[in-house]
Amino acid sequence: MPATTLLEFSGVVRAFGRLRVLGGVSGRVAPGTILAVTGPNGSGKSTLLKCLAGLLAPDAGRIDYREEGVTLDTAVRRRRVGFLSPDLALYEELTVEENLHFFCRLRALPASRGSELRERVGLPATRRCGALSSGMRQRLRWAFALLHRPRLLLLDEPLEHFDAGGVELARDLLGEHLAGGGLAVVANPSRLELPHVADRLELAL
């Protein structure tokens, strides 16, 4: 991946009614590195990631995401990033494989890509999503985030619900992403010890 992949944002403001959640946040992420965002619940971590993903429009500020040196507009950025969020809705009546194949079709990807990632994250093909444990659901969220081989990963509490095996898997997946020149923004209430953290952003209530 070329070094011209870059995420920069400055002065990002977002309010919900009279409640100002983000009060002028700035940061930068380069290939092969992580921006770690920490802060208590309600400090705006998830809101920031949604703004960076193009799912929420900031009230003020600038978000500049470049691939191949070209700045992507919000609609394109929304399709290109990989976003792991606890808010991700699964089709509970479908199996793990059916969910992944459905999202492959939405992204015009071969079904084999979904099967490949299902095996990588260690999930059974025929288990209904409604019967998955919290840890298994988190593994599936990782698979969805990586499905289209994004250069930018936005990870909201990526180790939540994981046992030791899940944590090891997540670290491996993130390490592979960064080794390939990808970049990541990782949000968590407490500080995570992760490799390749180039900068940290602390949000407050």
User: What's the CATH code of the domain at 18?
Assistant: 3.40.50.300
Q: 28 and 6, same structural domain? A: yes
Residue 66 pLDDT class (50, 70, 90 cuts): very high
pLDDT band at 120 (very low <50, low <70, confident <90, very high): very high
Together in a domain, 70 and 103: no
Quick one: 3 and 43 in the same domain? yes
Residues 72 and 8 in one domain: yes
159 and 188 both lie in a single domain: yes
**Same domain as 155, residue 76:** yes
User: How high is the mean pLDDT of the chain?
Assistant: 94
Average pLDDT of 151-160? Answer: 97
Instruction: Answer yes or no: do 133 and 178 share one domain.
Output: no
Residue 128 CB contacts under 8 Å (≥ 6 apart), including other chains: 92, 93, 94, 95
d(CA 124, CA 191): 32
Range of the domain at 116: 88-149
Please tell me the total count of domains within the chain.
Answer: 2
Residues 114 and 154 in one domain: no
Q: Is residue 74 domain-shared with residue 110, that is, in the same domain?
A: no
- What DSSP state is assigned to residue 128? B
Examine the domain organization and report whether 170 and 204 are in the same domain: yes
Q: What is the percent of the chain with per-residue pLDDT over 90, rounded to a whole number?
A: 87
Residue 99 predicted with pLDDT over 90:
yes
The pLDDT, as a whole number, for residue 3 is 52
Q: Report whether pLDDT(167) > 50.
A: yes
Which of 108, 127, 149 terminates a domain? The answer is 149
Nearest to 28 by CA among 53, 63, 2, 3: 63
Are 180 and 190 part of one and the same domain? yes
b/e per residue, 107-121, with b = 16+ CB within 10 A? eebeeebbbebbebb
Residues 142 and 160 in one domain: no
Range of weakest confidence among 8-22, 23-37, 61-75, 101-115: 61-75
Last residue of a domain, one of 149, 182, 197: 149
pLDDT for the residue numbered 93 = 97
- Percent of the chain residues past pLDDT 70, beyond the cut: 99
Model confidence at 1, pLDDT cuts 50, 70, 90, reads very low
